[in-house]
A and B are shown apart, each in its own frame.
Chain A
Amino acid sequence: MAKKNVHITRRDRNLKLVNIALLVVTLISILPIATTILISFKEQADITRKPPIIFPCDTPTKSFDITACRWAVEGYQRVFAPKPSETALLGFELTGNLIRIYIPNTIMYAFFTALLVMLLASFSGFAFSRYDFRGHNALLTAIYAVTGVPLLTNLLALYQMTINMRKNLPFYDDRMFLIFVYIGFFLPISVWITKGFFDAIPRELEESALIEGCSPIGALFRVTMPLATPGLISVFLLTFVNVWNEFIVAYLLINKNEFKPAMFGLYDFLSQNIINLQVLAAACIIIASPMVILFLFTRKTFFKAMVEGAVKG
């Protein structure tokens, strides 16, 4: 009896150690984000102080006084640039480029890319999962091998293509081409992921739908796709986040200010605010927080697509 108790307390102690270790690791990994939030709420005078201080909470007599902290929203103000306006709902308008142009652009690019990638990937994922045709495996391997071409390698050519098309095609639109390029970049891995999801759905369900007189396309839309919805949503989310976070493609292929996505817009802030670190920090927080919030609500879905994509491909 006594021996059993010893065993239990030892296990308890081990779990406590694991808990503490995990807590420390988590705090360290969150630290860079916490400090960015801290910087974003500082005022200009505290940013450019020499020597720099970590908390803007010192007084002439004490080095740290929680009641004397000088917090400011100056950084956010300069990013949002609110201007009073009679017609707006809250009595002011946000005139900052980031909120007015760049983030709506990003949402548009990310949404359309993710939607089309999901659609195309589910078509070909379905075909690869359900049919055996000549060149099936070779094609699947080729689609995977394509992901091995580095982004910058393709961009060399795509960049020349945009230059030519801007000159020669009157209806050419940077935005449409950018979305097209994103689809091409994120489709191969998504095909593999969706194929994996379709493989997990039993064929019998479709077969019985076919026997009942459903067409193959109808079976795909009415039976298989609804069953694969969680998987398809995870492909959508993964692509959405990837496009949101993508920088170099847009940076090289977009040349008009009003078409820039947020990551490219952020680069503007970098060159304009060498010293105004609070503005930079605020811009980072504003751009990153929608994705973090999205992730917090849908993390299970994310993990599914991530593991599927990494192990299969």
Chain B
Amino acid sequence: MQQRTALQSFRYRWRKSLPFWLILPTIVVILIVQVYPAIYTGWLSLQEREPGGWLYVGTKNFDRLFAAGIFPESIGHTVVFLLGYTIFTLTLGFLIALLLKQNVRLSGLYITLLFIPWIIADVIAGLVFRLLVTPDYGLFSGILQNPALIPPNGLSVLTATRPAPWFGNFPFPPSPAMIYLILAASWRALPFVTLLILAALQTVPAEVIESARIDGATGFQLTRHITVPLILPAMVVALFNLIIGGMNGVGMVFSLTGGGPGTSTYVISYLLYVIGWGQLRFGRAAALALLIAFVNWILIFSILRMTRVNESRR
């Protein structure tokens, strides 16, 4: 039997541990940029800034956060925003995907043009929509602010106050600015959702549709009983992606409404920004950030479970 030389044994060990070395850089980067900061935020949520350094205050940050009226209010705004945003985007995305699936002659061109909004940054999308309704000077402000068209005083989207809430303090009906924010956010997310649903639609086997048609199913019945159930997993994935994106995105609120008028478009991520970098209360911001992260994780793990279930089914 041949004796292993040092070089050979080194090469053997190198090959054996190759996956470790391949993954190591990724793990190191993720540990520094994602894991350490998350842990640090957990620590920060129990601290308060003092002139001399950080002071341990226990759960005081959480107590103060819950005591502030803006916290439940912005949860209300977030719920309203997410409801409007997801329902609007999913419905429209589904309808457009159904249209695109018909494969008309120009669908390639339509798909390309429809997808341009997705490539535009959220900050720019916010600005683009802002330019349309800037008070007094916006392109459509002349029409919207005309009292003859919209009684009694015309509508200035970005400055009109919220109507009186119907259910206690829950911010519904939303302010015009919130509706406009939902519109702008949906405009940008629509291509993504449409593409996901279209991709799912194309995996629906033609034979299934064909046999249902032979059995006498009409167009609506086909959609309702065959297509929708088959693409439901894709819809759910799209929904969760929308919720996570909508809950964490801050760029559009930043450039479109700046949280205003008043606090009527303070969604939870914007509130986090304001508490952290506007008021420089990092402890309280960290407490809020943990709560948001917690909700995110629940969503992420449910996506993961769902996609796993799909894979095992395949």
Contact = CB atoms under 8 A, between A and B. Distances in A.
15 contacts: A14-B102, A35-B128, A38-B139, A123-B26, A124-B23, A124-B26, A148-B293, A156-B44, A159-B277, A180-B32, A270-B255, A284-B124, A288-B124, A291-B119, A295-B119
A contact face: mostly helix, strand, loop, or mixed: helix
Contacts of A38: 139
B117 A307 contact: no
Interface in A242-264: 244-248, 252, 263
A169 to B, nearest CB: 14
B286 to A, nearest CB: 6
Contact of A153 (B107, B124, B293): B293
Nearest to A311: B237
A48 interface: yes
Given A153-B37, A153-B286, 18 more contacts: A19-B106, A23-B110, A29-B190, A35-B132, A52-B136, A124-B22, A127-B23, A128-B23, A150-B269, A152-B272, A153-B289, A154-B34, A156-B44, A180-B29, A188-B30, A263-B124, A284-B131, A306-B192
B123 interface: yes
B122 interface: yes
Contact of B38 (A128, A153, A216, A310): A153
A291 B304 CA distance: 31
B64 to A, nearest CB: 16
A157 interface: yes
Contacts of A241: 119
Nearest to B196: A310
A185 interface: yes
Contact of B113 (A30, A180, A187, A284): A30
Nearest to B183: A32
A120 B26 contact: yes
B237 A149 contact: no
A168 to B, nearest CB: 15
B229 interface: no
A156 B251 contact: no
B113 A26 contact: yes
Interface stretch (A61-69, A77-85, A201-209, A275-283): A275-283
A152 B269 contact: yes
Interface in A30-88: 30, 32-33, 35-36, 38-39, 47-48, 50-54
Interface in A191-218: 191, 215-217
A131 B17 CA distance: 10
Contact of B251 (A47, A145, A248, A313): A248
B304 A263 contact: no
A188 B34 contact: yes
Interface stretch (A1-9, A91-99, A136-144, A226-234): A136-144
Interface in B168-182: none
Interface in B20-60: 20, 22-23, 25-27, 29-30, 32-38, 40-41, 44
Given A54-B142, A123-B22, A288-B124, A160 B40 contact: yes
Contacts of B304: 141, 144-145
Contacts of B107: 22
Contacts of B125: 32
Contacts of A244: 121
B18 A131 contact: yes
A204 B272 CA distance: 51
The 3 closest A-B pairs by CB, nearest first: A184-B33, A245-B121, A157-B37
Contact of B115 (A15, A53, A299): A299
Contact of A156 (B115, B138, B234, B285): B285
Contact of B117 (A18, A19, A29): A29
Interface stretch (B1-9, B80-88, B155-163, B295-303): B295-303
A303 B192 CA distance: 9
B139 A35 contact: yes
A64 B245 CA distance: 43
A253 to B, nearest CB: 11
A185 B301 CA distance: 19
Contacts of A21: 99
Interface in B246-260: 247-248, 250-251, 254-255
B307 A311 contact: yes
A277 B15 CA distance: 61
Contacts of A235: none
Interface string B135-149: 011111110011000
Contact of B290 (A127, A153, A294): A153
A118 interface: no
Nearest to B219: A14
A281 B27 CA distance: 41
A312 B303 CA distance: 9
Given A149-B296, A295-B115, A306-B195, A156 B99 contact: no
B33 A180 contact: yes
A120 B29 contact: yes
Contacts of B102: 14-15, 18
Contacts of A22: 96, 99-100, 104, 106-107, 110
